[in-house]
Amino acid sequence: MNTKSNKIVIVGSSNTDMVVRCTRMPRPGETVLGGEFMMNPGGKGANQAVAVARLGGNAFFVGMVGDDIFGSQTRSQLAGEGIDVSFVGTAAGCASGVALINVDAEGENSISVASGANARLMPSDIEAVSGVIVGAGILLMQLEVPVETVAYAARLAKSHGVTVVLNPAPAPADTLPPELLENVDILIPNRTELEMISGHDCSGSVDEAVESLAGIGVGTLVVTLGSKGALICRNGERRLMPAFKVKPVDTTAAGDTFCGALCVALAEGRPIDEAVTFGNLAASITVTRAGAQNAIPTRAEVDRAASL
């Protein structure tokens, strides 16, 4: 990584999450009466930026909001977390991102997203803020903004020695462009995302999928495996870092917390296995609470859990 800088730049989405907790997921055509409604700040990019900031990292968020009430709430919410939001643009005449989320009694979720302004974050917007990206130690991204924007930012960062971390979420409908993957240092998919990227079934073992990605140019692959933890794959070796045992209430933003935490630990100069353990611990706290950003722990909470 670019050891000159402790800055972590997060390029990605922000959403307002409309959440209904229900006993079980509705089937197509069915209505399930829900118990509770919550409106929370979310979006994978913003969640990861909040995780970085709460866990003690130096966070800069690059994104796009609409010129509506949700956009201004997002901006002030993120600024209130100590995140630098001077690189967040406003798309005129456009709605901010919104996610509709169902959470069932086991804490599992299903999410549909109206991207709104997130879909308007263009490579030219990245070019306009290139200074903050090339001056970072780590660039962290997801796939809720256009893939060509992600690819542009990855290329720019990589060519300046910035460590590029990609969480390919949500799972892409198509295989990812090879020129994007070539510029990624650390790829962090969950099972579904690994399956989509590799084209191999990941419902059981992920071995075949991991092997198939050996030649794509990504230095380190970290596969998140929910309650099983995360698998580190690098230099032909694999190491499973087990999850912490908790009773899940709502898994929303578990992956986001994991990615943010991993980047904070790397920015502190910790090795990848310690960074993954830190990610597992932070994410295990997130799954015990409702909501996305509401659920992400502070550094003090993670340190306290580590000492138990």
Residues designated as active site: 256
Spell out the residues 6+ positions from residue 290 whose beta carbon is closer than 8 angstroms to its own. 19, 21, 38, 103, 249, 250
Per-residue x/- mask for ligand RIB, residues 37 to 76, rule CB under 6 A? -----xxx--x-----------------------------
Per-residue x/- mask for ligand RIB, residues 94 to 133, rule CB under 6 A? -----x-----------x-x--------------------
By a kind-dependent CB cut-off of 5 to 8 A, residue 183 interacts, out of ligand ATP, ligand RIB, none, with: none
C-alpha atoms less than 13 angstroms from C-alpha of 111 in its C-beta half-sphere? 26
Place of tokens 């509506």: 68
Q: Which stretch binds ligand RIB (CB under 6 A): 153-161, 189-197, 248-256, 294-302?
A: 248-256
Q: How many whole angstroms separate alpha carbon 226 and alpha carbon 106?
A: 13
- By beta-carbon proximity to ligand RIB, the closer residue of 137 and 291 is 291
Q: How many whole angstroms separate alpha carbon 300 and alpha carbon 120?
A: 36
Element (H, E) at 68: none
Assess 250 for contact with ligand RIB (CB under 6 A).
no
Q: How many whole angstroms separate alpha carbon 188 and alpha carbon 214?
A: 14
- The residue within the footprint of ligand RIB, chosen from 17, 68, 84, 250 (CB under 6 A), is 17
By a kind-dependent CB cut-off of 5 to 8 A, residue 280 interacts, out of ligand ATP, ligand RIB, none, with: ligand ATP
Assess 292 for contact with ligand RIB (CB under 6 A).
yes
Contacts with ligand ATP by CB under 6 A lie at: 169, 190, 224-227, 229-230, 243-244, 246, 248, 251-256, 258, 280, 283-284, 287
- The residue within the footprint of ligand RIB, chosen from 12, 15, 88, 94 (CB under 6 A), is 15
Assess 10 for contact with ligand RIB (CB under 6 A).
no
Q: How many whole angstroms separate alpha carbon 275 and alpha carbon 89?
A: 31
Residue 302 and residue 55 in contact, taking contact as beta carbons nearer than 8 Å:
yes
- By beta-carbon proximity to ligand RIB, the closer residue of 118 and 183 is 118
Residue 189 and residue 224 in contact, taking contact as beta carbons nearer than 8 Å:
yes
Give the nearest residue (CB) to ligand ATP. Answer: 255
E-strand spans in the chain?
7-11, 15-21, 36-42, 58-66, 84-91, 97-103, 109-114, 138-141, 163-166, 186-187, 220-224, 229-234, 237-242
Residue 301 Cβ, how far from ligand RIB at the closest point, in Å? 19
Question: How many residues sit close enough to ligand RIB to count as binding (CB under 6 A)?
Answer: 15
- By beta-carbon proximity to ligand ATP, the closer residue of 149 and 252 is 252
By a kind-dependent CB cut-off of 5 to 8 A, residue 43 interacts, out of ligand RIB, ligand ATP, none, with: ligand RIB
Q: What is the footprint of ligand RIB within residues 135-194 (CB under 6 A)?
A: 144
Residue 239 and residue 272 in contact, taking contact as beta carbons nearer than 8 Å:
no
- By beta-carbon proximity to ligand ATP, the closer residue of 149 and 277 is 277
Q: How many whole angstroms separate alpha carbon 65 and alpha carbon 247?
A: 35
Q: How many whole angstroms separate alpha carbon 191 and alpha carbon 226?
A: 9
Residue 284 and residue 38 in contact, taking contact as beta carbons nearer than 8 Å:
no
By a kind-dependent CB cut-off of 5 to 8 A, residue 190 interacts, out of ligand RIB, ligand ATP, none, with: ligand ATP
Q: How many whole angstroms separate alpha carbon 106 and alpha carbon 127?
A: 43
| Residues found near ligand RIB in the complex (CB under 6 A) | 15, 17, 42-44, 47, 99, 111, 113, 144, 252-253, 255-256, 292
